[in-house]
């Protein structure tokens, strides 16, 4: 199996494969790919020397990340009561609670599409449990809505 990855997504996929398949080998940088009848042929290049190696695999994992969507698409009319920043992004507080306007009495929390307020690490799957804990803590201590 080959992993084509960029950044944290590729690192997490490679780490998982190393733990699951100790004989797995991290080789080099992807240079070419060709599909064959029952496998995939990939050419990788070791950048310091320029040496190229042909690898064959049953599968290729593309761990290149994702592009998050606007969470307001899921909220329907409730989205009209969610505050936005000057750049149009959803205003998300430190505890992942969406700032609301008007007389909204419920808490709205997002987990994932918060890179614009919480930095690049907020989208990492490895932080999911930490974020869930922060949201749970907020749910148990807040009794009034966050106002913009």
Can you tell me the mean pLDDT for 55-72?
74
The answer on 135 and 97 residing in a single domain is yes
The answer on 82 and 58 residing in a single domain is no
Rg (C-alpha) for the chain, rounded Å, is: 21
* Boundary of a domain, candidates 13, 39, 63: 63
The answer on 137 and 97 residing in a single domain is yes
* Global model pTM greater than 0.85: no
Domain containing 132: what range? 72-141
- Give the H or E element holding residue 59: none
Give the whole-angstrom CA distance, residue 14 versus residue 99.
37
The answer on 59 and 76 residing in a single domain is no
Instruction: Name the average pLDDT for the chain.
Output: 78
147 lies in a domain? no
Reported as a single tens digit per residue, the pLDDT across 116-134 is 788 777 777 778 888 888 9
- Chain centre distance of CA 37: 33
Can you tell me the mean pLDDT for 48-77?
78
Number of CB atoms found within 10 A of residue 60's CB: 16
**What's the pLDDT at 10?**
64
Of 68, 69, 62, the residue nearest 9 (C-alpha): 62
Which residues pair with residue 54 across a beta bridge? Answer: 43
129 lies in a domain? yes
Residues in the chain: 148
Between 118 and 143, the more confident residue is: 118
- Chain centre distance of CA 23: 27
148 lies in a domain? no
């Amino acid at each position: 199996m080959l992993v084509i990855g960029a950044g944290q997504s590729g690192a997490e996929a490679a780490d998982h494969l190393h733990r699951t398949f100790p004989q797995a080998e991290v080789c080099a940088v992807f240079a070419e790919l060709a599909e064959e009848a029952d496998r995939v042929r990939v050419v990788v290049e070791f950048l310091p020397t320029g040496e190229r190696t042909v690898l064959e695999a049953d599968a290729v994992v593309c761990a290149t990340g994702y592009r998050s969507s606007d969470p307001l698409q899921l909220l329907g009319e409730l989205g009209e009561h969610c505050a936005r920043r000057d750049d149009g992004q959803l205003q998300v507080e430190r505890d992942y609670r969406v700032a609301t306007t008007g007389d909204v009495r419920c808490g709205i929390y997002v987990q994932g599409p918060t890179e614009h307020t919480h930095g690049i690490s907020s989208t990492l799957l490895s932080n999911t449990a930490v974020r869930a804990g922060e949201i749970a803590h907020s749910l148990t201590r807040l009794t009034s809505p966050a106002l913009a």
